[in-house]
Each structure stands twice: as C-alpha cells, then as structure tokens.
Amino acid sequence: MKLKNKTLLKKMSLVITPLALLAMAPAAYSADSFTEAVTGGKVTANLQYRYENVNQKNNLKTANASTIRLRLGYETAEFMGFGAKVEMEHISANNAYNSTINGRTNYSVVADPKVTEINQAYFSYSGLPQTKLKLGRQVITYDNHRWIGNVVWRQNWQTYDGYTAVNQTLQDTTISAAYLTNVNRVFGDDNPSGNHHMQSPLINVNYSGLGFADITAYGYFLDYDSSAAGFGLANSTKTLGIRLKGDAPIGGYKVLYTAEYATQSDYKNNPNNYRADYYLLEGGVDVNVAKFKVGYELLGSDNGRSVQTPLATLFAHNGWADQFLVTPGKGLQDIYVSARTELYGVVLGADYHDFRADSGNSKYGTEIDLIAEKAFNKTYSIGTRAAFFNAKSSYTASSGTPDVDKFWLYGSMNF
C-alpha cells in the first residue's frame, strides 16, 4: 500500500490540522457533532471478477488472465463543510499473462497487475456556495473521458493526486478546475511507468442552458516532469477545445448529435514544435428499441507528431482491442458505426471501425466489437465482450502490429 507523493501528503496535512482543531473546539459545534460526521458516513464495496483472453498473431503466448478486484471505501458525513474519503483496492490474479510487472514477457499483455494500494484518499470542503473542493488522491473524469478519465475498464483505476474545484454558481453552468501533481496509472506503483509526475492545470466549463445541446469549452495543460518514466518532457502538451452534444425529438424518436474540435501543441519544455487538430463528428438516432450511431474521429498529425490523449479512458475509444493507446505518428482517422438494443434486459451491441492514417491516408486495419451485458439490479451485473482487430498487411509490415482477437467474461457486485 503506497502513497508516494510526499509533497501531496505535506499539503494534505494542512487540511488535517484545522479538522483536528475543529474537533477539539468547544464552540457551537461540539465534539459529538464531529464524531457523528466521522462515524455516520457511508461504506462502499465492489467485488469484480474478469477473465480476459488475448490472442495475437505473433510469437507471444495467448494470455488467459483471471483477475478479481476487491475495493473498499469509506466516506464521512460532512462537519462544518469538511469531509473525507478513503478507498483501498486489492487485485488478485493468476500468472497466465503479462501484467507488465510479473515477468511473463512471453505472454500477451493484460494491464491488470496484482496490486494493493490506495485508490482514493482526499479531503473535501463544501462550505462555499455551490462549490465543492477536494485535496488528495481522487477520481477525475470530464465529458466522454476522451481527454481526462479514470480508465474504468481496467481493474486498477487511474486516479489523480492534486486539487479540484467544481462550481455551479452561474445558472446552467458547471466550472470544473484541477491541478494535477501525479497520475496514478493502471500499471501500479511497481511499474516504472506507474506514476506520471507533473504540474498540470485543467479547466472544463459546461453550459446546459441552450436546450438543444450542452456545450463545453476546455483547456488541458499537461506539464510532465522529466522523471515521468517513458513519458517525460517531450509529451508535455497544451490542448484547447470545444464540444457540443445534444439530441432533438423527431416524431417519437430522438436524433443524436455530437461535434467537437480541439487543437493540441507542444507545451512548456517539450522540445518538439507542432500543432495538430482533433475532430469528432457523430450522429445517430434513438428509435426506443434500438440506438444507432455513425461517427468520424480524427487525431491529426503535424511535423511528425500526432494528437495524444494519455489521460483518457482509452478503452472507450478507437476499439476495444486497444491497438491505438498511443496515436501513430501519422495520426489516426476512425470511421465507425455502432448499434445497441435490449432483449429481455440484456444489452446487446456491435461496433465496426475503419482505421486510417491522417498523413498519407494509408490504411491501418478494421475492427469488430461485440457486447452482451445484463444488470440484475444496482448490486449485480454480468457481461461478455469480444474484439477482432484485422491489421492491414502494410501496417503490420511498418509497425509490427498483428491481428488481435480478445474475449472477456466478467461479473461484479456493488454494495
């Protein structure tokens, strides 16, 4: 169980001290009130099992990962606006796969290592009007997780050390700001790339008063420390963007639409010089019994550098086979269609992706994803997924990327 960011711990102590003094103060709020806040909180628990099979058409052995996660958390009630939360997680697993830290490099990778660590540990304050402040290790997600996410698919979530503020003083407006000092990645502390140290401000402003759509403007300024193993100064980026997402009724159905544009460039001590564009255009229709979407996403390239989204929930984008966790230098175009329906309470779905380069328009490959999930209530759920990535021979020759098949079977309990 590790919490390596000593600077963060020192800063957290600045909050611990006034909380302790408030507990001892013989003022209008007695020690009993503080005690009730501490003892009258909420316990949360999650138990999740997953089997993941990864078969790559190369020399690596097929991965057969069997992992189980136990997550336990406790969040206090508030006292004079102050609160706190601590959440631990433990992941057990077999050894029939490469977890990135178990030495099984002859197997395909499944990034679910055995770990026991602090998932979240933060203090909060809500004493200001329509404002929530947090200090410590916490989950941060914005919009569709394309830029900032918690990688919810992996057993060990991605969390962040730093400060956050959410303000809703302005009508129909949510202003979210953060300052990151470290990213606790899914690989765990024992992996050299398990922590990304940085000094990175984030800002995300959402306005929902238009009626036909929500509009969001954002700026993410990732300033990596040189000590961020495998992801140092050369990956410091500035991303500015705007996103519109909404729907409109037509007859008894809904038309769905999303449009987003961003520009990303080098930032701070990044030695590269580039500016690349990001586009997302998505349309669809919800016909009550089914939902269909078609979309186009571009992660552009410039001067040999491409748009990167290292803090995203990457599994949710560009196919479940995870072949584009790092955007190729020539960029990425993803043309996709998806369909979802429900039969006897089971969500059924299929996605198709066509991947191409931005620069040169060469073809990378295609992918088909399938899903079936059922939630029995808020406590139990089960599901299965499959992903089939078919690489173009030219892409395999240039990048070494093979065909990949993946299969998952999973279930969870939440308390």
Rg (CA), the chain: 22
Contacts for 193 with CB less than 8 Å, ≥ 6 apart: 185, 187, 229, 230, 231
CA distance 313 to 141: 9
Per-domain residue ranges for the chain? 6-414
pLDDT value for 230: 64
What are the DSSP calls for 115-133, one per residue?
EEEEEEEEEEE--STTEEE
CA distances from 407 to 50, 51, 322, 367 (A): 10, 8, 12, 13
E strand or H helix at 6, and its extent?
helix 6-24
pLDDT value for 3: 45
CA distance 187 to 199: 21
**Residue 224 carries which DSSP code?**
B
pLDDT value for 229: 57
- Per-residue pLDDT 10s for the chain (415 aa) are 444 444 444 444 443 333 333 333 333 333 347 888 788 889 999 999 999 999 999 999 999 999 999 999 999 999 999 999 999 999 999 999 999 999 999 999 999 999 999 999 999 999 999 999 999 999 999 999 999 999 999 999 999 999 999 999 999 999 999 999 999 999 999 998 899 999 999 999 999 999 999 999 999 999 999 876 567 778 899 999 999 999 999 988 999 999 999 999 999 999 999 999 999 999 999 999 999 999 999 999 999 899 999 999 999 999 999 999 999 999 999 999 999 999 999 999 999 999 999 988 799 999 999 999 999 988 999 999 999 999 999 999 889 999 999 999 999 999 8
| Topology at the third CATH level for domain 6-414 | Porin (2.40.160)
pTM: 0.90
The beta-carbon contacts of 73-77 under 8 Å, at least 24 apart in sequence, are 73/43, 73/44, 73/45, 73/119, 73/120, 74/41, 74/42, 74/43, 74/44, 75/41, 75/42, 75/44, 76/37, 76/38, 76/40, 76/41, 77/36, 77/37, 77/38, 77/40, 77/41, 77/42
